[in-house]
């Protein structure tokens, strides 16, 4: 599936080819802190088909406890997270942050991972009072 997207300030724009069947929610602690919210929501970029159309990305290199290195890329001006991948492992999950994708309303998560560190209320979301606007 071909998608395009942008960061919050608009400096970074991109196009990518994704696999909608590999769309996931990640409840790991790194995703909570890095996103500043409850969980990460990512989709796999197929065959590393991610193309920056404008702007530049800044990379934070994160080494996990298991030694796995991930490059977390974001807009240096507004901080919007764009993608995360492992450069020396072409077959590793290449996670494009779904929130920055223009077609995000068409994407649904297929699974949730790292559920052991999920925030306690997150699986009760449908029961929490819903408002349309403030």
Least distance to Zn ion from the beta carbon of 129, Å? 28
* Residue 67 or 130 with smaller CB distance to Zn ion: 67
Least distance to Zn ion from the beta carbon of 100, Å? 9
Task: Give the alpha-carbon dihedral of 74, 29, 130, 78, to 10 degrees.
Answer: -20
**What would the DSSP string read from start to end of 99-125?**
GGBTTGGG----EEE-GGGS-TTGGGG
How far apart are the C-alpha atoms of 78 and 8, rounded to whole Å?
6
* Residue 78 or 119 with smaller CB distance to Zn ion: 78
* Residue 3 or 5 with smaller CB distance to Zn ion: 5
Residue environment code for 81-118, b if the CB has 16+ CB neighbours within 10 A, otherwise e: bbbbbeeeeeeebbbbbbbbbeeeeebeeeeebbeeeb
Least distance to Zn ion from the beta carbon of 13, Å? 10
* Residue 1 or 11 with smaller CB distance to Zn ion: 11
Least distance to Zn ion from the beta carbon of 10, Å? 6
The binding site for Zn ion (CB under 5 A) comprises 7, 9, 11, 26, 28, 31, 40, 75, 77-78
């Amino acid at each position: 599936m071909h998608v395009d997207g942008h960061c919050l300030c608009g400096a970074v724009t991109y196009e990518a080819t994704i696999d909608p069947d590999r769309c996931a929610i990640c409840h790991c602690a790194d995703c909570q802190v890095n996103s500043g919210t409850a969980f990460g929501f990512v989709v796999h970029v197929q065959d590393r088909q991610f193309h920056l159309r404008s702007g530049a990305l800044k990379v934070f290199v994160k080494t996990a406890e298991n030694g796995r290195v991930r490059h977390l890329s974001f807009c240096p001006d507004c901080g919007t997270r764009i993608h995360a991948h492992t450069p020396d492992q072409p077959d590793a999950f290449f996670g494009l942050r779904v929130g920055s994708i223009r077609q995000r309303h068409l994407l649904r998560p297929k699974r949730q991972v790292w559920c052991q560190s999920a925030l306690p209320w997150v699986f009760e979301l449908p029961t929490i009072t819903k408002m349309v606007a403030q």
